[in-house]
Amino acid sequence: MQYLAADDHEVDRIIQNEESRIENTLDLIAAENHAPQSILEAQGSVFNLKAAEGYPGNRFHAGCKYADELESLAIERAKQLFGAGHANVQPHSGVSANLAVYFSVLDVGDRILSMKLSHGGHLSHGDPSSITSKCFNFQHYGVNLKTELIDYDEVRDLAYQYKPRMIVAGASSYSRLIDYEKMAEIAKSVSAYLLVDMAHIAGLVAAGVIPSPIPYSDFVTFTTYKTLRGGRGGVILCRQEHAKKIDRTIFPGGQGTTAMNILAAKAVCFKLAMEDDFKKLQKKTLKNAACFASEFDKMGYRTVSGGTDNHLILLDLRTKELNGNIAEKTLESVGIIVNRNVIPNDPKKPEIASGIRIGSPAITSRGMCEAEVVQIVKMMDAAMVNRDKAEVLENLLEEVLGLCKRFPVAK
Ligand code: DSN
């Protein structure tokens, strides 16, 4: 990046430091991944500068010949990858995508039934702190506190009592598969739309290694930078019958010019996700997550719901007399990056939290397999147990660096 270094050495230095941090730490944040360099190149391309309001063939700016070609390609690839009737690839984020779905077919104040954030849902599923809850009337379902699985009887009972106009399925810290067929049946029985937010698991769905929500849902939203490995941004898939409403709610409803450079990266991401290597990667992502669960289990940790079917596990640290905040900071000090996370019915506030969320996507993208997961779990345990012993932590930091050097981030 020689031009940046010449124009602004401070920003250049910060970016280089970030690159080095990524290279020399183990990223276990379930919502992150290492995107191929081609994605970053597309994001940093000249399309950054193109003003393009509207949709291919119907723009409000001239000079959109190639922007149209690019967006049409991204749309076709998204539809092909997921077998969807319609795709809108313009949302700037997952939250924008969810807001657009709500506003496309609902009226302000309408009732929506979704999973509560404290049991694994997402902010944009009507958390009181989110703008979504100020526009719509949310009621929440959670997990059964014994099994820590979604309680479909509760979902059904709430749907009958509450009569929502939309049901939202999908989560940001739920490690199990969701029964979309059951969710669709419940939604249909109360004449509600079904939205599935598959942001976390889009890569696993694209690769066909876990079931797809597409056949059962009216709307599916996702982001492209998590398991899908494609850089930042959101997407909406829907049945053809909702296409016009979705498109108009995104533009001119909620967004102006689209981010054509991000859209270029999305197109690349969808192409790469159709390749065999991507399928292999997603299979390994699942295997590595399962390995995290079984290794922590062997070491006496409690995994929420007893395991995982996807790319993440949620560890309940109460049995170790530890909280999420201390664990997150301790692990960061040895170069292992996780986020503290509430567990269902957590007695602690989110700033402290009783758990940590651990994801396998990024280390799997670095080529790590189960042998490395076993090593990482041992290092994590050693760090958490010896959190007050500076010498142990220093040695662990060296061990993490060694592992990072053996598995460089692929370009
Ligand atoms: N939704 C947030 C998470 O799961 O961490 C960020 O994408």
**Global pTM value:** 0.97
SS3 (DSSP) at 109 = coil
- Look at residue 17 in the predicted model and tell me its pLDDT: 98
Which of 28, 172, 200 should be mutated for ligand 1, with most atoms under 8 A from CB?
A: 172
Q: Which atom of ligand 1 is nearest to the CA of 339?
A: 5
Segment 171-229, tens digit of pLDDT: 999 999 999 999 999 999 999 999 999 999 999 999 999 999 999 999 999 999 999 99
* Among candidate residues 315, 284, 306, 288, the one with its CA nearest the CA of residue 373: 288
Q: What is the mean pLDDT of residues 253-281?
A: 98
* Alpha-carbon torsion angle 118, 341, 343, 305, nearest 10: 120
Phi-psi bin for 344: left (phi > 0), alpha (psi -120 to 50), beta?
beta
pLDDT at residue 410 above 90?
no
- Is there a contact between 71 and 56 (Cβ–Cβ < 8 Å)? yes
Confidence of residue 113 (pLDDT cuts 50, 70, 90): very high
Instruction: Give me ligand 1 centre to Cα 156, in Å.
Output: 27
The structure tokens listed for 277 are 């290597």
Instruction: Give me ligand 1 centre to Cα 31, in Å.
Output: 5
Q: CB-hemisphere CA count at 13 Å for 340?
A: 20
Q: Which atom of ligand 1 is nearest to the CA of 223?
A: 7
Q: Considering only CA atoms, which residue is closest to atom 6 of ligand 1?
A: 31
Ligand 1 surroundings by CB, under 6 angstroms? 31, 122, 172
- Look at residue 1 in the predicted model and tell me its pLDDT: 85
Confidence of residue 44 (pLDDT cuts 50, 70, 90): very high
Q: CA–CA distance from 112 to each of 11, 103, 126, 163, 390 (Å)?
A: 43, 12, 8, 9, 50
Angle at 129 between CA 223 and CA 338, to 5 degrees: 55
pLDDT at residue 64 above 80?
yes
pLDDT at residue 273 above 80?
yes
Instruction: Give me ligand 1 centre to Cα 305, in Å.
Output: 20
Structural domains of the chain, with CATH: 40-273 (3.40.640.10), 280-406 (3.90.1150.10)
pLDDT at residue 167 above 90?
yes
- Look at residue 262 in the predicted model and tell me its pLDDT: 98
pLDDT at residue 411 above 80?
no
